[in-house]
Every structure is written in structure tokens, then in C-alpha cells.
A and B are shown apart, each in its own frame.
Chain A
Amino acid sequence: MLRFAVRRLISAVLVLFAVSVLTFLIFNVIPAGDPAVRMAGKVPTKPQVEAIREEWGFDDPIYVQYGTMMKKLFTGDTVSYFTQLNVVDEIIKGAPRTFALAIGAAVLSLLFGVILGVYGARHAGQWSDRAITLLAVLGLSLPVFWLGALMNHYLGFELGIFPNGGYVEFGESPTGWFWHLMLPWIALSFLFVGFYSRVLRSDILETENEDFVRTARAKGLTEKQVMNRHVLRNSLVPIITLWGLDFGFILGGGAILTEAVFNLQGVGQYAAESIEQLDQPVIMAVTLFGAFFIVLLNAVVDIVYAALDPRIRLEDARAP
């Protein structure tokens, strides 16, 4: 088990390394033109460009450039040329907001995903199931930034029930914090609830046909016992996997659109703004930050899986 975990973590580190190389290449090799000019932002001045060229060593060979970039990122020396603010500091400032969004949305989406999925499966074919299915597909079809903008406008601005975007520190006012995050949580989890409830519903319906479920019924367990002990326990596994991966995705600031539309000032919005300003050092840093959480949660999910199911470990050991 330990060997599997170590192997999985090593491969995660390798993937991260590759991600950093690829991000670097996307910005420094693919596009034509002078990288120093691009890095200087939208209105570069000549001395600024010269200074950047010097600082980042754009005249050096490409692998040296990569080394410089990584060194700057890890020592925390990276500074945005647009805002003159330290990138690492900004990420540390935005992270609690992003984490708050991620945790709340993850809890909500899992809770409602499971409730609706189980309900849909138990009432399969009835009108209530169809309504849930349609709602779920609607959730998958709504662009979160559009939904968010409308919620903000109508529930926040017009009706004044919720604040019109923004964020309040938890220490400042716990209720304000909660109230400000309410709409972002709902908007973001709407998508995931739709996804989870559909997957869970179909998994439950499939598990219902398994022999062990028939056995459980045959030996006289109640419907509730069959559902909780046998069907759900098996059907929840894929959902938990997806949930873990999505959680990593949002933790890393992947919910760029949600953060931007609700003005949460988290890592994701920082990413969105840096993109608008073409603020390259920031884009580089937030991409790696996001990839870190995705890769980490991927590895965690795999390891938890292997701990639960010995077959996976064996398979991995057999693979070349």
C-alpha cells in the first residue's frame, strides 16, 4: 500500500513538472513576437521591456529561461508588472476566499447530488424523476457566469435579498461571510448537482440489477437496508471520485468564472484579471497553483481507492 502511494505521488510530481514546462512553452515559444514585450503588459515602455529581458534572461537558451522562471516562482520573487504586487502574496490573500467557495460548493453539491440522485432512482420513470432529470440537464447547460450575473442582478440588486457580489472576511462578520457566499455556492453547485445526480441515478439503477442486491432482498432485508447497506455503498464510489476531482479543481481556483462574476477576489478571479491584463507572471503562477490541487486530489483519490480496493494496487503493480 505504501509503495503504491509513493509511486502515485511521484507520478503526480512528474505531471506537475510537465504542466509547468507546458505552461512555460505556451507563453514563451508558441506565439510569435518578443516575450519581454508581452510580459510588460498592454502598454509597454522601452526601458521596461529592456529591464524585463535582462531580468528574465530572454536572451539565454530556453532551458535556462525555464529555470529562471521556476526559481522566481518558488522563491516568491515574482512580481506582476501590471500591478507591481508580489504574486505569491496575492495568491495567499486570495486562497482563503477560494477555499471557502470550494468547501461550501463541494458540500452543497454532494448533498443535493446524492439526495436528488437517490430520489430520481427510486422514482424512476415518474414525472418527479423526469423533472429532476430535466433540471439536472439544465444545470449542465447553464453557463455559470450568466446564471451568476442574473442572480446577482435580480436577487442582489433588484430584490436586495443577497449582497450584490463581494466578500466579507469570516473574522469580520460570520453572518456576512455566509450571506456573501450564498449565491456563489448555489450558482456553482447547480452545475455539479446536475452532474452528480444523473451519474448517481444511473449507477443506482444499474446496481439494482446486481445479484447481491437480489440476495439482500431475498434474505429479508428491508428496502431501506438494501438501499443504504448494499446499493448506495456501491453506487456512491464513482460519485465520490468525481467529487474529489472537482473539489481539487475548485480549490485550485478553477472556478474562475464564478469568482469573477461574484467578485470574490479569490485566486480564480486573480487569474481572470491577470488574463485580461495579459499579466504573464501571474498567469504562470495561478496555472501551476490550480494544477497542483488537481494533481494532488487526483493522487489522493487514487490512493484512497487503492486503500479500499486491493485489486487496484495489484493491477498497478502488474502494469509495466
Chain B
Amino acid sequence: MPEGGRVATAEGAAAPAGAPEQATLGAPAGAGPWRLAWRRLRRNRATLVFGGVFVALVLFCIAAPLYAKHVAHTGPYENHLSDTIEQDGETVNVVGFDGVPIGPTWRGEFLLGADDNGRDVMVRILYGGRNSLLIGVSAALITLMLSILLGLVAGYMRGRVDGVISRMMDVLWAFPVVLLGVALGTSLALGGFELGPVSVGPGSLLIPIFVISIVYVPYMARPVRGQVLILREQDFVEAARSQGAGPLRVMFAEILPNLASTMIVFFPLLIANAILLEAALSFLGAGVQSPEPSWGTMIDSGVERIITAPMLTIAPGVFLVATVLALNVFGDGVRDAFDPKGRVRMEH
């Protein structure tokens, strides 16, 4: 389903849905689908800009320790409850006697102010961003792998196997997304859990990663299954089968490579949704556990102080929205470029 002609591209003119085929005809011989997609992506300035914003945000978060050490001179868990700093030639308490932390100083130390415990908000945002991004990317990867596996098997085997997998997906689908995540998150976070040799502690980041990846599987496995149902009837599958390829070989060596563009298209959108869900779970206390920062937990604790220190709510939210927005716009551009047939339905 081409996303309604590539109107948002640099050319500005509405291209009819058949445009990619024409582009194929007009392209020099030898340009494969990957190169064509890349060419379309490169032409789309909005996509590149927002992709760049995302990469910059990721790099900034990765560089958190450098920022903490050399610019802010404090760590993400360091309290400065009884410290003072110089501001406009005056000595100010980091956290006032009325419990109100200082607002943004707009310089190295306490760039965006301090929180209740006198911790540097900017430093915590960067470290929180590491957690949010780590959870988002890993959850999206796991969702992708699980749903590709389930979708492949269900679509290729059909019959009873498909029935079982599809009904399982129906059940997960019937859960309110946030409730399912929260239910899993709270029950796991309470005592941690043990999965064979792996033992996961109550505050581990693995719990939100696991929860979020499970929740989005049905949203992804359905379109994959639909695609596999179409692919398995194609001639190249028939050819592989007649050469004696078994089901495993056909599934993983023949059909799987054809799902690559689907995976690429959904990956950024999945990350965006996973980051949003992480924030929602943390907001409800079922995601990242304190003192570990994440954008969701920071907003959660910020809302309680919104009247005296609105920056504690605004700042992490702006980073969260910027990241998710960048991913969404970039993801849309990627979808336009790869021109997929399926459409996933995701919300939070």
C-alpha cells in the first residue's frame, strides 16, 4: 500500500501510485530494488533531516558520561541537596529551603536545572535517554524477530499451526496494550523472575524490554503472516521446492530475504512505539524502576512537581517527543522509499 503517493518528498508534486514502476523503467539497467529505494530515500530531504536528528540524539545520549564528567561535573545519581551554586553573582541553593529545586541555569552545571534531590536534570535526561533508547531498540529487535518467526511459520505451514498461532495473536490483541504491559511489568518487577539459568532481578531493564517486545508482537506478526501467505504461492518458492528444499530451507532461505524490506520499514516505527510504551509504563510505575532514570520515570516524577518546577516535566518530554517524532518521520520516509504492501496498525 503506497502511502498515498510520495507527496511529502522533495519534488513536491503528487506522484501517482504507479510511480515506482515508472521509476524502474526509467532507471539505468542494473539498478536493483535496494538501490532504487536508497535513491528515493536520498531524495527525500525531510526524511534525511529527521533521520539525522535521531542519530544526533542517540550520539548525544551515548556521550552522556562525557557530558556528565566534563560539562556538568556530576553524575546521574549524585544528589546536591545541600550544595550551592553561583548564579548571577549570587549564591543560590541547588534545592531551596521550600524544597523547590533551581530552574535552568543555561550553562554547564545544571543546564536545565535540578530535580528534587538536587540531581542535574540534563545529566539525568541523557542517562535516561540511554535507558529509553536501549529499551526501545532492543524491544523493537525482539518484537521483529519473534513476529517474523511466528508470521513465517503461521503463513507457511497454514492449517492447524496457523490456527494456533493466529488465535494466540487474537488473544494478545484483545488486551488493552498498556494494561497488558502493566500487568506483565508489575507482576515481573515485583519479585524478578527466573527463566532457566537466567535470573532477572526486580529492577532489571530486561523486564520492560521483555514486556514491550511481547506486547507488540501481534501488531507485527499479522502483516508478516499476510505477506508470507502471498510469497509462498510465488514461482520461486515452487522452484525451490521442486529442487528438493525442505520447509525450513524454503522459509528461511527463500521467503525470509523477501521480508527484509518489511522489516526495514517497520523497524523505526517499532522503536518509536516501544519508546512511547516504555514511557507510559514507567509513568504508571511498571517500567524502569528508580533510581534508574528514563524519560518516562522523569516525566512521572516531574508531574508531581509541575506547579513549582515545570521544567522537570517539560525537559524530558521534549527529548522524548523529539526522538519519537524524528523516528516517525524517518520511518514514514523509509516506508515511502521501500513501498511496502502491508500496513501495520500501532498506537498506544
Complex-state Cα separation, A282 to B192, whole angstroms: 22
Query: Is B2 in contact with A206, judged by CB distance below 8 angstroms?
Result: yes
Contacts of A110 in B (CB 8 A): none
Q: In this assembly, does A157 line the interface, its C-beta being within 8 Å of a C-beta of chain B?
A: yes
Q: What 0/1 readout, one digit per residue, does chain B (126-168) give for beta carbons within 8 Å of chain A? A: 0000000000000000000000000000000001000000010
Q: What 0/1 readout, one digit per residue, does chain B (172-211) give for beta carbons within 8 Å of chain A? A: 0111111110111011101111100000000000000000
Query: Is B170 in contact with A15, judged by CB distance below 8 angstroms?
Result: yes
Query: Is A191 in contact with B174, judged by CB distance below 8 angstroms?
Result: no
Contacts of A143 in B (CB 8 A): 276, 279-280, 283, 296, 299, 317, 320-321, 348
Query: Is B182 in contact with A275, judged by CB distance below 8 angstroms?
Result: yes
Complex-state Cα separation, A233 to B246, whole angstroms: 46
Contacts of A204 in B (CB 8 A): 4
Query: Is B332 in contact with A137, judged by CB distance below 8 angstroms?
Result: yes
Query: Is B272 in contact with A141, judged by CB distance below 8 angstroms?
Result: yes
Query: Is A150 in contact with B317, judged by CB distance below 8 angstroms?
Result: yes
Q: How far is the CB of A5 from chain B (nearest CB, A)?
A: 18
Q: What 0/1 readout, one digit per residue, does chain A (1-37) give for beta carbons within 8 Å of chain B? A: 0000000000000011011001100110011110000
Query: Is B284 in contact with A256, judged by CB distance below 8 angstroms?
Result: yes
Interface centre among A146, A261, A275, A286 (most CB of B within 10 A): A146
Q: What 0/1 readout, one digit per residue, does chain A (197-220) give for beta carbons within 8 Å of chain B? A: 000011111100100000000000
Given A125-B14, A141-B328, A142-B321, A32:B176 Cβ within 8 A: no
Q: In this assembly, does A80 line the interface, its C-beta being within 8 Å of a C-beta of chain B?
A: no
Query: Is A18 in contact with B167, judged by CB distance below 8 angstroms?
Result: yes
What is the number of residues of chain A that contact chain B, defined by CB distance less than 8 Å?
A: 68
Complex-state Cα separation, A149 to B301, whole angstroms: 12
Given A145-B280, A149-B299, A257:B174 Cβ within 8 A: no
Complex-state Cα separation, A133 to B329, whole angstroms: 10
Instruction: Give the nearest-CB partner of B269 in chain A.
Output: A140
Query: Is B284 in contact with A260, judged by CB distance below 8 angstroms?
Result: yes
A-contacting residues of B (Cβ < 8 Å)? 1-5, 7-8, 12-14, 16-18, 159, 167, 170-171, 173-180, 182-184, 186-188, 190-194, 272, 276, 279-280, 283-286, 296, 299, 303, 306-307, 310, 313-314, 317, 320-321, 324-325, 328-329, 332, 345, 347-348
The 7 closest A-B pairs by CB, nearest first: A202-B4, A205-B4, A254-B176, A141-B325, A141-B324, A146-B317, A290-B176
